[in-house]
A and B are shown apart, each in its own frame.
Chain A
């Protein structure tokens, strides 16, 4: 009886030790068998996108411009409507036309352009797990170019050339001074959440025929290089 108890307790110890050693193998073999069976779950293919703000639009475009699909889409408005969009952008950047010589000039050109070219493209990308569609408008009125998102009117880039012949001599120095400071451009992009290295603007006032100014949001990789 005594040796039977010793034997049984020894068997219990050895058995439990063996169980501890083989249990994980059995457990994971069973788990693998379960994982080998098909599991399904419902998904929603239609992406519902909340309306974006101008700042979100610029941020998404800046980060994903090189990683998206651009598709040409038909225009949904008249040329004058797009010119009005550009006027609003000019107002957002350079302030009221009455106080800003640059805005005053741009407004005049947008009111009396001679030629215009408008294109619309849809930009499709994936941002933080959400599929984002942006309608990008590329509008050119004579020497003025605007690249903006249609819904938010966020200016992704713009450029214009002001020939000296188009402005009074006393206005030339004021326009050059305002563009050289670049304060309005800086304030515009900073207010929309971009850091200094995420956008670019420059003035080329040395051309003999006029003043060339351009500003644009940098692509993410390009901005990284600058930062």
Chain B
């Protein structure tokens, strides 16, 4: 059954039972108190009358019933609602069977209903010498029972009204209470069906409730987390698909070349120069495949086993780098300028040199002949900021987000011509992650690119400006 219906049923039954039982208890307490007091009054009056009759009759040899009845009525002040009768003969008595059931000095009473009126008949049996007398008080209690019937009628009308009003109100409240839950259920179904953007509005339309509002907020937080995870998984899946496609392509190109040259050597009788050219091509493509596999191996190792970091002085680091990049400067005709602050940073020196070498290599490749590549190190408060910038052709905006993915290349033809497989920046990204930092690319086509990242300083000394290397 629905939640709203359950709430309605339970709350309605509680209200009905509480109102019904409480109302009836009130009616019963009032009416029983009223009727019991009236009955007790009549019985007491009847008892006094009997006692008086007994006391008066004792003094007379032959009691005169009529006279004694008047005297007793006068003293007991039995009014118009009560009628006093004293009988000396049970056979003349109205309720002969009633009288016959009474023992000596016993009082009997019962309620009688005649023509819609209710009377209490109370009788005392008085034994005097050998005679038996019956002192009867007949009291009209119709007013009391009429009042009781009115109370019952009011109770019934009250219960009926409360049942109708509370039933309608509780039904409405129950559906209002359940409304936010229905909204939540609908939203959960939408999300389950793939609509990860579905959220619960802050006002769900039901009764204002802190719990429901918090539930909506929590639900939205959960939906946010689910959406983010789904997006991340989708991005990762797409990345893997691109990786596999690119990897297949990178394998296929040299393999095609090698198979072609091998088939040429096998099928034709080539002269010495042609055989050398074919063998050179097979060797070159083979070396390319070897480099590709080594880079992939590095990427795999770095993603699983992070080497320990150690304090390294930046002067030594940049000195080694300046020596190892002389070759690049000559190869691409680019001037490489190092401007490092002196500091001690936490790094794995071999990997950090590899990272910087790759960035400088890429900067040189992108730069025009005769231009300049700057490598700067700025010591900050607890951090060391390194930037590699060039004034080359720059990177298109649409490529910036993907250039660190394996095998991703902005210009495939030119990259392959320059001997790249598209794994360099992926390795750089992995090395940066090992150092607890990320690579930040700022580029504008035709004006150049700046790559930066931050290392953690471990020295306490104030930074000092270095000299250009």
- How close is B41's CB to chain A, nearest CB, in angstroms? 11
> A residues bordering B, Cβ < 8 Å?
2, 5-6, 9, 12-13, 16-17, 20-21, 23-25, 27-28, 32, 35-47, 67-69, 71, 122, 124-126, 129, 131, 133
Binds A, one of B151-159, B211-219, B440-448: B151-159
Determine if B110 and A37 form an interchain contact, defined as CB atoms under 8 angstroms apart: yes
- Chain A residues whose C-beta falls within 8 Å of the C-beta of B107 in the assembled complex: 40-43
B47 at the interface (CB under 8 A from A): yes
- Chain A residues whose C-beta falls within 8 Å of the C-beta of B124 in the assembled complex: 43, 45
B335 at the interface (CB under 8 A from A): no
Determine if B5 and A16 form an interchain contact, defined as CB atoms under 8 angstroms apart: no
- Tell me, in angstroms, the Cα distance from A120 to B20 when the chains sit together: 65
Determine if B55 and A40 form an interchain contact, defined as CB atoms under 8 angstroms apart: no
Chain A residue at smallest Cβ distance from B98: A38
- Chain A residues whose C-beta falls within 8 Å of the C-beta of B126 in the assembled complex: 45
Determine if B75 and A38 form an interchain contact, defined as CB atoms under 8 angstroms apart: no
Chain B at the A interface: mostly helix, strand, loop or mixed?
Answer: helix
List which B289-315 residues lie within 8 A (CB) of chain A. Answer: none
- Contacts A13-B13, A67-B74, A124-B55 given; indicate if A36 touches B110 (C-beta within 8 A): yes
Q: Please name 20 further chain A to chain B contacts, defined as beta carbons within 8 Å, in addition to the given A16-B16, A131-B51, sorted by A numbering.
A: A6-B5, A12-B13, A13-B9, A20-B19, A21-B160, A23-B20, A23-B24, A25-B152, A38-B101, A40-B106, A41-B107, A43-B47, A44-B105, A45-B105, A45-B124, A45-B126, A46-B54, A69-B56, A124-B56, A126-B75
- Tell me, in angstroms, the Cα distance from A122 to B148 when the chains sit together: 45
- Contacts A40-B101, A43-B105 given; indicate if A126 touches B52 (C-beta within 8 A): yes
Q: Quick one: which of B44, B106, B148, B163 contacts A28, CB cutoff 8 A? A: B148
B364 at the interface (CB under 8 A from A): no
Determine if B101 and A9 form an interchain contact, defined as CB atoms under 8 angstroms apart: no
List which B110-169 residues lie within 8 A (CB) of chain A. Answer: 110-113, 124, 126, 148, 152, 155-156, 159-160, 163, 167
13 contacts between A and B (CB under 8 A): A13-B13, A16-B17, A17-B163, A20-B17, A20-B20, A20-B24, A24-B24, A24-B152, A28-B152, A36-B111, A40-B107, A43-B51, A44-B105
- Tell me, in angstroms, the Cα distance from A21 to B153 when the chains sit together: 10
- Tell me, in angstroms, the Cα distance from A184 to B28 when the chains sit together: 58
Determine if A69 and B75 form an interchain contact, defined as CB atoms under 8 angstroms apart: yes
Chain B, residues 75-90, CB within 8 Å of chain A (1/0): the string is 1110000000000000
- Chain A residues whose C-beta falls within 8 Å of the C-beta of B111 in the assembled complex: 32, 35-36
Closest 8 CB pairs of A and B: A20-B20, A35-B111, A45-B54, A40-B108, A43-B107, A38-B110, A69-B71, A24-B152
- How close is A156's CB to chain B, nearest CB, in angstroms? 19
- Tell me, in angstroms, the Cα distance from A9 to B171 when the chains sit together: 14
Q: Quick one: which of A17, A28, A68, A126 contacts B16, CB cutoff 8 A? A: A17
- Contacts A24-B24, A24-B155, A25-B152 given; indicate if A129 touches B105 (C-beta within 8 A): no
- How close is A24's CB to chain B, nearest CB, in angstroms? 5
B102 at the interface (CB under 8 A from A): yes
B109 at the interface (CB under 8 A from A): yes
B418 at the interface (CB under 8 A from A): no
- Tell me, in angstroms, the Cα distance from A37 to B44 when the chains sit together: 19
Give the most central of A6, A25, A38: most B CB within 10 Å. A38
- Chain A residues whose C-beta falls within 8 Å of the C-beta of B109 in the assembled complex: 38-40
Q: Quick one: which of B13, B28, B71, B101 contacts A16, CB cutoff 8 A? A: B13
- Chain B residues whose C-beta falls within 8 Å of the C-beta of A44 in the assembled complex: 105
- How close is A120's CB to chain B, nearest CB, in angstroms? 13
- How close is A11's CB to chain B, nearest CB, in angstroms? 11
- Chain B residues whose C-beta falls within 8 Å of the C-beta of A69 in the assembled complex: 56, 71, 75
Q: Quick one: which of B9, B59, B155 contacts A71, CB cutoff 8 A? A: B59
- Tell me, in angstroms, the Cα distance from A3 to B23 when the chains sit together: 33
- How close is B262's CB to chain A, nearest CB, in angstroms? 74
- Chain B residues whose C-beta falls within 8 Å of the C-beta of A16 in the assembled complex: 13, 16-17
